[in-house]
Amino acid sequence: MARRDKPAGFIETKLNAPPVGERFISRKPLFRDFLSNTDRNVLSVVAAAGSGKSTLLSELHQSFLAEGVRSCWISLDAEDDSPASFTNYLIAALGSLNTTESPDTIKLPRANPARDFEPLFNDIVALMSSLQQPVALFLDDLQHLRDEQLQRFLNKLLVRLPPCVKVAFASREVPLLDLARLRVAGRLLEVRQSDLSFNAADARTFLARAHDLELDEQDLDALIATTEGWPTGLQLAALALRRHRGPARDLIERFSGRDTDLTDYLMEAVLNGQPESVRRFLLKTSPLSRMSPELCHAASGDPASGEMLAHLSRANLFVLSLDRQGNWYRYHHLFSDFLRHALRRSNPEDYRQVCANAAAWCERNGHMTEAIQYALDGQHFDRACEMIAAHAPALSQAHGDHYTVLEWMRRLPTTFHQRRPEILLSHAWSRAFSRDAALSQGLCEQVNTLLDQGAPDWRLDPAGQTYCRLLSMVIQVMAKGTADSVDESLRLGLELRTRLDDQQPFLAASVCNTISYCHLTRRELELSGRAAEDAARFGQLAGMYYATVWADFLHGLVDIERGNLGAAEHHARRANAGTHADGEGVRNYTVSLASLLSAEIAIQRCDFARANEHVSHARTFSALFGPLQPLLLAIRSEARVTAWKGDIERSRRILTEGQDMALGTHQERLFVNLVVEEAELLLDQGDAEAAAMITARARLLDTDNTLSGPHLHQGEREALGLLRIRLDLADGRIDSALRQIARMLHGLDSAQRVSLAQSLRALKAVALWKSQRNNDALRELDRALATAAADQHALPLTRAGPALLPILNAIGERRPDTPLTGDMVARRDLESLLVATLSGDRAPARTTHSEAKDDILVLEPLTSREAELLRLVEAGLANRQLADALLISEGTVKWHLHNIFSKIGVRNRTAAASRARELKLM
C-alpha cells in the first residue's frame, strides 16, 4: 500500500518479520506438523519473554514463504491494545498479501475510540473467511492485546478460519482466547515454555555457534539448571561468561534458582561488562522506540551511531533489525525496559534530554506523531503543547484522525490543555466525531470563557479571537448533528450561516455541509442540495477537498432521492477526483465517502457486482465515524450486496449486528432503518411471517411506541410506511394497502421525490393486480417504468418485491416483437433487469442504452410520451400495436397522434415519420 494510505504515526517496520540469523538454533521440529498438516491451522506459542517465541515464528514465516504461502506479520506493542491501532496494522498486513480475494478490500481506519468497531471486525472476518489461496498471519507479542473487543474479534476469527488460512501467534501469557474449541477440533498446535527451553545439546550448539563458548558437561548442566534452558537467559549468561575472568562455575553458581532476580542480574552483568562508549550509547538511546543511525546520533550525541548499531547487532546485544537494509532497529523489550529504568534511575535529566533531542529530530524529519510522543515521554509538556497546537487542527479537522488527537489529550496533563485554543478546539472537534457531544460542547464553552476573561497567554489579536469563537460555534453545531440532534443542529447552523462568508470559507463549508446533512435527514431535498452546493463552493475556496468531498457525497444522495442518477454520478466522479487531491492523511476518509456514494448509485441500478467493488472501500468509514447517514448506507449496502450473492443468513447477521450496535449507542433512527431493511429482506424471500414477527418484536408499527413516534424524521416515517404497505399486501389487506398508498402519494412532490413515488407506484401496481384490476396495474407500473428507464433506476421498483414479477411478465407479453429504438430500448432493458433481480439472478446489471436526445426544433416541445410514440410510429406499428406497447387505449393513441401532428406541422403518420427524421427526433 502507498504511504499516503497509512495513518499518522504508522510504523511500517512492525509489519516485517525479524530476519533469521545464521547462528540461530532451528525450532522446525516444533512446528513441522503445523507446516504440513492441513487440519491444523492455529499455532499458539506461549512462553516467558526471551524464550525464542519470535525466533520460532520467524523461522516458520520463512518456511511458509519458501513454500509459496503468502504470509504477513505484525509485531505488537502495548500501544496496539485498542481496536483502532490494531486494525491499522492488521488491515495493512492483510493488504500486503495481494491475494485475489483481498486487493485493498478494506482501507485503513482513521481511528475513533468511541466508535463501535464490530462492523469493521465482521468485515475482516468475512474477508479472511472467503480466502481461497494459502495464507498465513503472524501475531507476535499477543499478550499486549487485552481489549475485550479485540478478544471477541480474535475468537470469532480463529473459529471461522478456512482450512487454507493459518494463524500463528506468540504470547508471554496464556491468551484470553477460547482455544478449547480449536483444541477439541484438532485445529490447534500448542508450543509451551517447556518445548522452547533448550536442552543440553541445543544449549551447547547455541553457545558455540553464537558466542564461541564451550563449557564442560558439568558447567553446562549447571547453567541449564539455573536458566531452565531459557534462551535469553543463556544469551545473557554467555555475554557475562565471555567477560568473566575466573572459572565459569564461579559465575554460574551465583545464580540461585528460578525465583531470583535473574534477569536484572544478567542485564547488570551485561551492561557493566561493556566498554564505557557502548554502555553510554545503550543508556542514551534507551528511550527510543525505534532507532536509526541519524536518530541515535541526534538523541545520544554519538557521531558513530551507525557503526555502534551495527556492532550491537553483530554482538547479539539484544538489538533487533526492523528491515533488511539496516536502517531501523529496536532493542529487545526486556533489555529496553531495563535500560530505560537504569537511565531514569541514574540520570533522570539525561532521560528527559534524550527525549527532547529525539522529539526535535523527528519534528525536523516530519515524524510529527513520534515527535509529540517523545515530548510527552520526556514530560516536555510546554514543547508538546506547541507541537500539538500546530498539528492537531489539521489532524482532527482535515484528516479525521481523532484517535491520535485523543491519545495526545490523554497523555498531556489537563493543566496544559488550556495553554492554546488550538488544543481545546481540536480536542472538541475530535470529541464531536467521537459521539461525545456533551464534552465537545463543554470544551467549546471553556474556550469562550477564557476568551471572555482575556486569556493573555493565548496572544490572540481580535481577528484570532473572532475565529476561535466562530470555530467553537461550528463545532457545537456539528456535534449536535453527529449526535443526531438534527433539528437543533439545523436551527443553530442556519443562524450561524448568516455570520459566515467568503472570508471564512472552511468554517462556512463545514456549517453548510451540516445544514445539508440535516435537510437531507428531514427529506428537504431542495434545501439540502442548495446547502451542498454552497459547501462545495466554500470548500474549493478554502482548498479543503475534505469538505468538498463531503458536499459531493451529500449532493449525490439528494440526486438519488430525486431519481437523477446521472447527476449523482457526476458528484461521485468529482468526489473520487477529490480523494486524490489533498495528499497524505485525508485520502482514506474521503475515499470511503466517495466509494460509499458510488456503491449506492450502483445499488440503485441493481448493479450489485459493481456495488461490491465500492462497498469494500466504504466499510472503514462506516465502522469508525459518524454521522448516522453514512453508517446506515454502509451497513445496508453491505447487507444488500451479501444478499445478492445468495448468503441471506449473513446478510441478516450484518443487519442484526448493526441493530445491536445502534441500540448500544442509542441511535434509534439507525435501529429503525435496519429493522425495516431486515423485514424487507424477509419479505423478498417470501417469509412474511418472520418479517411481521421482527417488526412486532421491535414494536415499530405500534402507535404508542416511542421508537416509531413523531420524533422520527421523514425518511424513517416513509420507510415504515412502505413496510406497512408490504406487510398488508402480504397478508391480503389490499384495501388498507391502497389507502396508505393514496395517503402517501397525496401532496407528494413527485418532481422532487421521484424515488419514493416510483416505489409507491410499484406497490400500487401490485395492490391493483391482487385486486384483479390488471389493466390498471399495468398502467400504474408503466408510469413508474417511464420515469425510471432513462437512468435504469431499478431499486425503487424492487421495493414491491417479487409480487411485481407477474405484472412485468404481462407487460412483456403485450410488447410487440418489432425492433424498437430510443426510450423503448431503455424500457425493455429496465424490465429485463427487474425480472432478473426479483428472480434472484446474479447476472450484472445491463448497461443503459438511453441515448442523448438531440435538440428538437419545434414550436412547442414534444412530451416524453409523444416522443416515444413517434419512435414507435417510425417503426411501423399500427394503432392497436401502439396501444399494447404503451399500455393505453387506442383512443389515447389517437389523441397523442393528433397533438404530435399539430406540433410538428403534419397531417398524417407518413408525414410525421418523415418530419421526425428531418427534425432529428429519432
DSSP string, 865-912: HHHHHHHHHHTT--HHHHHHHHT--HHHHHHHHHHHHHHHT-SSHHHH
Residues for the chain: how many in total? Answer: 922
Taking residues 721-734, report their average pLDDT: 94
Measured CA angle at 288 (ends 284, 294), to 5 deg = 80
Using CA atoms, how far residue 870 sits from 184, 336, 787, 892, 911, in Å, is 74, 84, 18, 14, 11
Peptide bond preceding 627 in cis form (omega within 30 of 0): yes
Partners of 139 in the beta sheet? 74, 169
* Total Cβ atoms within 10 A of residue 475: 29
DSSP string, 523-546: T-HHHHHHHHHHHHHHHHHHT-HH
* Total Cβ atoms within 10 A of residue 866: 17
DSSP string, 584-609: TTTHHHHHHHHHHHHHHHHHHTT-HH
pLDDT at 120 over 50: yes
The rounded distance, in Å, linking the Cα atoms of 149 and 762 is 44
The type of residue at 651 is S
The 10s digit of each residue's pLDDT in 487-500 is 999 999 999 999 99
Taking residues 299-307, report their average pLDDT: 92
The rounded distance, in Å, linking the Cα atoms of 516 and 508 is 12
Least confident of 41-50, 619-628, 909-918: 619-628
The 10s digit of each residue's pLDDT in 755-811 is 999 999 999 999 999 999 999 999 999 989 988 998 999 999 999 999 999 999 998
DSSP string, 231-247: HHHHHHHHHHHHH--S-
With cut-offs at 50, 70 and 90, classify the pLDDT of residue 323.
confident
The rounded distance, in Å, linking the Cα atoms of 865 and 884 is 14
With cut-offs at 50, 70 and 90, classify the pLDDT of residue 7.
low
The percent of residues above 90 in pLDDT, for the chain, comes to 41
The rounded distance, in Å, linking the Cα atoms of 285 and 330 is 10
Using CA atoms, how far residue 781 sits from 104, 497, 678, in Å, is 41, 43, 25
Element (H, E) at 171: strand 165-171
Q: Is the alpha carbon torsion for 112, 117, 122, 124 positive or negative?
A: positive
b/e for 279-291, b at 16 or more Cβ within 10 A?
A: bbbbbbbbbbebb
The rounded distance, in Å, linking the Cα atoms of 561 and 550 is 17
The rounded distance, in Å, linking the Cα atoms of 257 and 260 is 6
Measure CA 277 to chain center: 48
pLDDT at 569 over 70: yes
Q: Is 437:482 a contact under the CB 8 Å cutoff?
A: yes
Q: Is 220:204 a contact under the CB 8 Å cutoff?
A: yes
DSSP string, 476-536: HHHHHHHTT-HHHHHHHHHHHHTT--TTSHHHHHHHHHHHHHHHHHTT-HHHHHHHHHHHH
The 10s digit of each residue's pLDDT in 54-65 is 889 999 999 999
The 10s digit of each residue's pLDDT in 607-662 is 998 998 888 766 655 555 567 888 899 899 999 999 998 899 999 999 998 888 88
**Cell (9 digits) for 781:** 407500473
The rounded distance, in Å, linking the Cα atoms of 850 and 867 is 13
The most confident of the ranges 14-18, 135-139, 848-852, 861-865 is: 135-139
pLDDT of residue 294: 95
* Total Cβ atoms within 10 A of residue 199: 9
> Can you give the pTM of this predicted structure?
0.65
Partners of 46 in the beta sheet? 171
